[in-house]
Amino acid sequence: MWRCAMSNKHEFKTIVVPYDGSDQAKHAFSMACDLIGDDPDAKLMLLHVVPSGMVGTMDNAEGNTIDGVPWGLLDYETYKDVVHAALDRVKKEVLDSLGDSVHDERITVEAVADTSPAEAIAKYAATHGADLIVMGRRGLGALRGMLGSVSYGVLHSAEMPVLTVK
């Protein structure tokens, strides 16, 4: 016979929520807020992953150039500045889209560029000591489609529990 006992053994103090602005991501954010409740020590990190191939088209780029310089010929410092500016703009857009719901010192917003959103989410959660990833999922067909390819990838890559919500 199984018995379930109440305990704080799985109290989640650090939660990562991948956020892309979709209804599923908003629902995941809401659920994560419920999970941290009023705990003053809890942290909630919203993470937006920008496909690294898109970073060059997000700032002052025109076609395949940035300020007239071909994208592939940029020096490292200029490239780094372009990436940081694009990611800062994405963070601001996320903050603006959520309005007053992120005016809590326990909530942070980050943006990273990576070729694989699933791997970026799992790596970010691991390096920031996350206890849990709460993410939205798409409701489609077969397992990968039902979860969404990013959710499916995170489930297989993450070292910590992953809660998917619809």
Residue 56 reports pLDDT greater than 70? no
- Burial of 11-22, coded b for 16+ CB within 10 Å and e otherwise, reads ebebbbbbbbee
Q: How far apart are CA 56 and CA 87, in angstroms?
A: 11
Q: Tell me the per-residue pLDDT of 129-150, one tens digit each, with 9 for 90 and over.
A: 999 999 998 754 444 444 568 8
Q: What was the pLDDT predicted at 99?
A: 75
Average pLDDT value for residue range 62-70: 56
Q: Is residue 92 part of a domain?
A: yes
Q: Is residue 133 part of a domain?
A: yes
Residue 109 reports pLDDT greater than 80? yes
Residue 52 reports pLDDT greater than 70? yes
In 3D, which of 117, 121, 98, 109 has the Cα closest to residue 50?
Answer: 117
Residue 81 reports pLDDT greater than 60? yes
Q: What was the pLDDT predicted at 102?
A: 65
Q: What was the pLDDT predicted at 31?
A: 95
Burial group, residue 85, by CB count within 10 angstroms (0-12, 13-18, 19+): middle
Q: How far apart are CA 1 and CA 8, in angstroms?
A: 22
Residue 119 reports pLDDT greater than 80? yes
Which domain covers residue 134, as residue numbers?
A: 14-165
Q: Is residue 9 part of a domain?
A: no
Q: What was the pLDDT predicted at 3?
A: 63
Q: Which residue has the higher pLDDT, 137 or 14?
A: 14
Q: What was the pLDDT predicted at 53?
A: 66
Q: What was the pLDDT predicted at 140?
A: 47
Q: Is residue 3 part of a domain?
A: no
Q: Is residue 104 part of a domain?
A: yes
pLDDT band, residue 22 (cuts 50/70/90): confident
Q: Is residue 144 part of a domain?
A: yes
Residue 74 reports pLDDT greater than 60? yes
Mean pLDDT of the chain: 80
Count of structural domains, the chain: 1
What is the CATH number for 34?
A: 3.40.50.620
Q: Is residue 8 part of a domain?
A: no
Q: Is residue 42 part of a domain?
A: yes
Three-state DSSP at 149 gives: helix
